[in-house]
Amino acid sequence: MGGRAHRVSLGDAWSRRVHPDLETERHGQGFDVERLTHLLDGGAQNTVLRRGVESLVQGDPDFSLIHNYFMTPNERYEAAIRRRVLLHRKGQRLGWLEDGLQFHYAYRAISGDVTFGVHGIATKAIQSLGSEEQIAKWVPLCKTYQIILTYAQTEMGHGTYLQGLETEATYDTATQEFVVHSPSMSAIKWWPGDLGRSATHALVMAQLVCSGTRQGIHAFLVPIRCLKEHSLLPGVTAGSIGPTMDLDHADNGFLRLDRVRVPRENMLNRFAQVLPDGTYIRFGTAQSNYLSMVVSRVDVLVNGVLPTLQKACVIAMRYSVIRRQSRLRPSDPEAKILNYQTQQQKLFFPLAMSYAFHFQLASLQEFFRHSYNTILNKDVSLLPELHALTTGAKAMITDFCTHGAELCRRACGGHGYSKLSGLPSLVTQLVASCTYEGENTVLYLQLARFLVKNYQRAQQAVGPTSQKSLPQSVAYLTLPHLAKCPAQGAADFLCPELYTVAWAHMATRLIQDAVHHLQTLVQSGAEQHEAWDQTGAILLQAAKAHCYYLTVKNFKEALEKLDSEPAIQQVLKRLCDLFALHGILTNSGDFLYDGFLSGPQVNMVRTAYLDLLPLIRKDAILLTDAFDFTDLCLNSALGCYDGNVYERLFQWAQMSPSNISQAAAVQNRALWREKNKWEDLHTPAVSYRKRALC
């Protein structure tokens, strides 16, 4: 595996040799890891490109993430700006395209630990919601960082429920300006990234009031800091919201606007416009403005959430073949902990998720590409399904990935509690995702609304044409009803068709239960909204089952396309089986409840599931190697490619400031500050020479 040489490792003497316990795991492959990597990258050419970018980044000590562990939040923020600037310059020098793959891979290589992530999201929001003139005016300024944006939506007292936002933008016909105002304490914008210290402009989501009428949420570009001195503009109060669990580079901030005036042209007007006289014109539907959220949700899942879980799997899996504990046979040495059934049960589900969600997101992105352009052209017919798919995917994937990463962390015993394992920060990055970009329970309920509506449509129109009229993701609601699972033995449960049908049945039944519950309540006199709330727990369950079904179905379909790669197909199929069966076992009550599965069948599922564990065990390390993360990006003492866990843990701990004598600490700090000096960045030759001397 010469191609992987650059993975080994961070230049330490003991890291030239791969730990034998890890080495043996990589022998006797049942499949070609390299080909699986190509598959995950979307083609061999992408793998080459990615590794090229990674080696550029890897070779540059400025991109090292290891010092993060010993920095204050403020230092981390500064290091993240610095990385952003360096990366930008590197990209310019090498002619990387703004939205090209190279930048994408570079972010991945440094775990996205750069500032101005929200600046990027807000820039995209201008592209989705702005008119052509607005895009032409603002986007170039953003791309060259002449202005730095934040996306100011969430308020202290209001989150996912957008209609509840209090910030107002009232049109003043006399001056042709909007007056943007935070009317109360709870209306203060709270949480937006890049706002605390960086942003010069805010894309403020506010209630538009014109000619005395409220027209709902619209986006306004509001300058907040002076472009010369960076001081706050009159009427603006802004700052940092204080320490959070992680994401120090995100620079989360607050923003209070006291009747700040912006010109009429600062309202983004692709989908709606206010004429000089205050007349309001809408081009799209009221939901069109949500398009920017769909864009950023997909982006967050693909680039932020899923790779974070995958890294947790890599770290936990590698550590589990190095760590030995107790004996399996009295005469043997202590066993690798990955040989314990309980450890396999803990880790293989997150591993299966890592692949399941990869394929699910691939299919989501395909649908997204297909529908996005039609929506931009103001054909919104696909928007409801796009919205349902992204809300469901967002809720389920962030939910499961968070849970999976925490499982991985705890599976590493005490060392999983050390930040040097890398796992705590993976977990704290992920847990944020359960509430940002839409709180998951609320999202599941939004999806449930879509499901209920389509279920009712499917009921109303029975016949051959009905299936066509349903969006593809809910077409299964019209499938012929299957009352009992036909499986006769454990082996039958290793059939993707069979368990996909089982999940379709489960989702359909739960949606049906929810609809039934709703109807019963309404018939007994409850009002519609009341009935909806009183069915919340059931709706939630139904939406979750639907998401599980979709994930299983996508995984199954992805496997079907792998006929030309039988070895990879076989090993991935085991993960698909495990994913589907794990869900059946944890929800066995639901499957038993209506007799779809019998007691003996649940035992078969259990047998099939437990028998999968030793099969996956053989390939476990290769399956995580295939994600092909560099050591730099894993930034974990436990999870490096070479497996020299204990040496690295000991060495990294020595770097802790608390272990450096007072004199040395002062010196170190001075060195660090020196290193941070801006001048360095502008005299690359000098800094290069300095580095060469080190």
Partner 1 sequence: MNPDLRRERAAATFDPELITHLLDGCPEKTRRRREIENMILNDPDFQHEDYNFLTRSERYEVAVRKSASMVKKMREFGIADPDEIMWFKKLHLVNFVEPVGLNYSMFIPTLVNQGTTAQQEKWLHPSKGLQIIGTYAQTEMGHGTHLRGLETTATYDPRTQEFIMNSPTVTSIKWWPGGLGKTSNHAVVLAQLITQGKCYGLHAFIVPIREMGTHKPLPGITVGDIGPKFGYEEMDNGYLKMDNYRIPRENMLMKYAQVNPDGTYVKPVSNKLTYGTMVFVRSYLVGEAARSLSKACTIAIRYSAVRRQSEIKPGEPEPQVLDFQTQQYKLFPVLATAYAFQFVGSYMKETYYRINDSIGQGDLSELPELHALTAGLKAFTTWTANTGIEECRLACGGHGYSHCSGIPNIYVTFTPACTFEGENTVMMLQTARFLMKSYDQVQSGKLVCGLVSYLNDLPSQRIQPQQVAVWPTVMDINSPDSLTEIYKLRAARLIDIAAKNLQAEVSHRQSREEAWNLTSVDLVRASEAHCHYVVVKLFADKLKIQEKSLQAVLRNLFFLYSLYGISQKAGDFLQGNIVTGSQITQVNQRLLELLTVIRPNAVALVDAFDFKDETLGSVLGRYDGNVYENLFEWAKKSPLNKTEVHESYYKHLKPLQSKL
Residue numbers 408-447 binding partner 1 by CB under 8 A: 410, 413-414, 416-420, 424, 427, 431-432, 434-436, 439-442, 445
CA angle centred on 448, ends 524 and 159, rounded to 5°: 105
Determine if 325 is a binding residue for partner 1 (CB under 8 A): yes
Helix (H, G, I), strand (E, B) or coil at 525: coil
Residues of span 443-502 touching partner 1 by CB under 8 A: 445
- Near partner 1 by CB under 8 A: residue from 99, 172, 277, 530: 530
| Structure tokens that stand for 431 in this block | 């847990």
User: Per-residue x/- marks for partner 1, 215-234, CB under 8 A?
Assistant: ------------x-xxxx--
Between 3 and 657, CB nearer to partner 1? 657
The residue among 486, 454, 485, 481 whose CA lies nearest residue 467 is 454
User: Per-residue x/- marks for partner 1, 257-276, CB under 8 A?
Assistant: --------------------
Determine if 516 is a binding residue for partner 1 (CB under 8 A): no
Between 131 and 244, CB nearer to partner 1? 244
CB within 8 Å of 634: residues ≥ 6 apart: 311, 314, 315, 422, 640
Min CB(532)–partner 1 separation in Å:
8
User: Per-residue x/- marks for partner 1, 44-73, CB under 8 A?
Assistant: -------------------------xx-xx
Tell whether the torsion through CA atoms of 125, 130, 135 and 140 is positive or negative: negative
Between 334 and 557, CB nearer to partner 1? 334
Determine if 20 is a binding residue for partner 1 (CB under 8 A): no
Question: In the sheet where 236-240 sits, what is the strand order?
Answer: 189-190, 253-257, 236-240
Q: What is 422-439 written as a DSSP string? A: SHHHHHHHHHHHTTTTS-
Tell whether the torsion through CA atoms of 53, 55, 60 and 65 is positive or negative: positive
Tell me which stretch binds partner 1 (CB under 8 A): 54-62, 470-478, 549-557, 643-651.
Answer: 643-651
- Near partner 1 by CB under 8 A: residue from 16, 214, 282, 327: 327
Residue pair 145/194 in contact by the 8 Å Cβ criterion: no
How far out from the chain centre does Cα 558 lie? 21
For this structure, is 437 an active site residue?
yes
Determine if 672 is a binding residue for partner 1 (CB under 8 A): no
Determine if 198 is a binding residue for partner 1 (CB under 8 A): yes
Min CB(398)–partner 1 separation in Å:
11
CA–CA gap between residue 401 and residue 394 (Å, rounded): 10
CA–CA gap between residue 230 and residue 330 (Å, rounded): 69
Tell me which stretch binds partner 1 (CB under 8 A): 181-189, 202-210, 453-461, 547-555.
Answer: 181-189
Tell me which stretch binds partner 1 (CB under 8 A): 208-216, 491-499, 560-568, 649-657.
Answer: 649-657
Between 11 and 330, CB nearer to partner 1? 330
Residues of span 600-629 touching partner 1 by CB under 8 A: 600, 602-603, 610
Helix (H, G, I), strand (E, B) or coil at 260: strand
Between 460 and 654, CB nearer to partner 1? 654
Between 228 and 468, CB nearer to partner 1? 228
Catalytic residue chosen out of the listed positions 54, 406, 437, 497: 437
Min CB(411)–partner 1 separation in Å:
9
The one-letter amino acid at 476: Y
- 636: exposed, middle or buried (C-beta count within 10 Å: 0-12, 13-18, 19+)? buried
The one-letter amino acid at 543: A
Min CB(539)–partner 1 separation in Å:
8
CA–CA gap between residue 251 and residue 191 (Å, rounded): 9
Tell me which stretch binds partner 1 (CB under 8 A): 36-44, 215-223, 328-336, 355-363.
Answer: 328-336
The residue among 470, 490, 488 whose CA lies nearest residue 479 is 470
Residues of span 79-118 touching partner 1 by CB under 8 A: 81-82, 85, 88
Residue pair 62/83 in contact by the 8 Å Cβ criterion: yes
Residue pair 155/232 in contact by the 8 Å Cβ criterion: no
The one-letter amino acid at 33: V
- Near partner 1 by CB under 8 A: residue from 599, 663, 692, 693: 599
Residues of span 123-162 touching partner 1 by CB under 8 A: 144-146, 148, 154, 156-161
CA–CA gap between residue 556 and residue 581 (Å, rounded): 13
Min CB(324)–partner 1 separation in Å:
8
| Total residues interacting with partner 1, rule: CB under 8 A | 123
Provide the annotated active-site residues.
437
